[in-house]
């Protein structure tokens, strides 16, 4: 895993946006895997600003979101569909028909999950998957104990995640208990993964993901098995990394050809 420690969340977000924009320029029909939550907000801002400056065109891009709460309609103010609309889709020119988000109101959830996996395959697979990490080490909503071979399915949130996400709702009781989420295996199938993590609340999970054992106890640790995963963190989230100095050294000594975002495309 390539670990990039940046002075601020803003710089990490801008770097991730540059990588994704470069991919889209090289491959206009790119397939993006997208995440919600507080972490990617700066990333979406940076991409929307690039789009407004005419630097990136999303007209042929296809997107798949990681997850959605069950029981929430797409227009529910706390649904991830609505989040994406507000923070990203309404600001760029992605064709609505190319946007995919699990349906929180699906009646037959297993069939819906299978269809979601099939749609990813039919789109040619995900070129780059954006990820945040939960304070309990989840990616998507693959909570601790999730199978590292899992595919899109229903998951039950941990009490900790419900507490973490209660800030978006009026009370913890209103946070849905269940979600539909891409599985760990679905995420590992992406050609490239970009993980963003900011703030000291993520420091322990970041260290366990990057330097701990690969274990279902920390689903994000499965990313150690991915051949092209970059972790972009601010100083606070990097605070518990044992090899932080080495990661800085590697980044400072990167050959010029590896520094260009184009070279990082899958």
Establish whether 200 is a catalytic residue. no
Name the region of 199 (left: φ>0; alpha: ψ -120 to 50; beta: rest): left
Q: How far is the CB of 206 from ligand F6R (least distance, A)?
A: 12
**Distances from the Cα of 219 to the Cαs of 19, 49, 60, 143, in angstroms?**
24, 33, 32, 7
Residue 87 a catalytic site member: no
127 is catalytic: no
Active site residue 136: yes
**Selected range binding ligand F6R among 126-134, 145-153, 206-214, 240-248, rule: CB under 6 A:** 126-134
**To the nearest whole angstrom, how small is the minimum distance from the Cβ of residue 34 to ligand F6R?**
8
Residue span 67-106 as binding mask against ligand F6R, x where in contact by CB under 6 A, dash where not:
x---------------------------------------
Q: Does residue 143 interact with ligand F6R by CB under 6 A? A: no
Report residue 65 CA to chain centroid gap. 8
- The reply to whether 13 sits near ligand F6R by the rule CB under 6 A is no
Separation between Cα atoms, residue 20 and residue 47, nearest integer Å: 8
d(CA 158, CA 255): 42
Judged by CB under 6 A, the residue of 44, 64, 141, 247 near ligand F6R is: 141
Distance (Å, whole) CA 4 – CA 11:
11
| Rounded Cα gap, residues 159 and 72, in angstroms | 19
Query: One of 15, 68, 127, 143 is an active-site residue; which one?
Result: 143
Of 86-94, 116-124, 130-138, 240-248: span binding ligand F6R (CB under 6 A): 130-138
Choose which of 9, 15, 31, 39 interacts with ligand F6R (CB under 6 A): 39
Interior/surface letters 19-33, b for 16+ CB within 10 angstroms, e for the rest: bbbbbbeebeebbbb
Tell me the C-alpha to C-alpha distance, in Å, between residue 186 and each of 84, 96, 133, 230.
Answer: 20, 23, 16, 17
User: And the tokens for 159?
Assistant: 């009490």
- Least distance CB 124 / ligand F6R (angstroms): 22
Which of these is catalytic: 15, 117, 136, 164? Answer: 136
Which residues of the shown chain bind ligand F6R in the complex (CB under 6 A)?
35-39, 66-67, 132-134, 138-141
| Catalytic residue ranges | 67, 136, 138, 143
């Amino acid at each position: 895993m390539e670990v990039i420690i940046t002075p601020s969340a803003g710089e990490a977000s801008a770097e991730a946006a540059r990588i994704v924009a470069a991919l889209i320029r090289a491959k206009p029909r790119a397939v993006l895997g997208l995440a919600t939550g507080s972490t990617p907000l700066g990333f979406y801002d940076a991409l929307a600003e690039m789009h407004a400056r005419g630097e990136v065109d999303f007209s042929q891009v296809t997107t798949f979101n990681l997850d959605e709460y069950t029981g929430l309609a797409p227009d529910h103010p706390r649904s991830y569909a609505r989040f994406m609309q507000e923070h990203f889709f309404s600001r760029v020119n992605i064709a609505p028909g190319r946007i995919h988000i699990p349906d929180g109101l699906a009646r037959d959830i297993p069939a819906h999950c299978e269809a979601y996996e099939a749609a990813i395959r039919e789109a040619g697979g995900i070129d780059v998957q954006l990820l945040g990490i939960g304070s309990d080490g989840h990616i998507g909503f693959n909570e601790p104990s999730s199978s590292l071979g899992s595919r899109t399915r229903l998951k039950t949130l941990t009490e900790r995640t419900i507490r973490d996400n209660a800030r978006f709702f009026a009370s913890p009781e209103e946070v849905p208990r269940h979600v539909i989420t891409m599985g760990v295996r679905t995420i590992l199938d992406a050609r490239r993964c970009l993980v963003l993590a900011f703030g000291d609340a993520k420091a322990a999970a970041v260290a366990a993901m990057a330097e701990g054992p690969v274990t279902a106890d920390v689903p994000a640790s499965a990313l150690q098995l991915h051949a092209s995963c970059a972790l972009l963190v601010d100083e606070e989230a990097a605070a518990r990394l044992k090899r932080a100095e080495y990661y800085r050294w590697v980044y400072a000594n990167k050959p010029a050809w590896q520094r260009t975002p184009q070279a990082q495309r899958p």
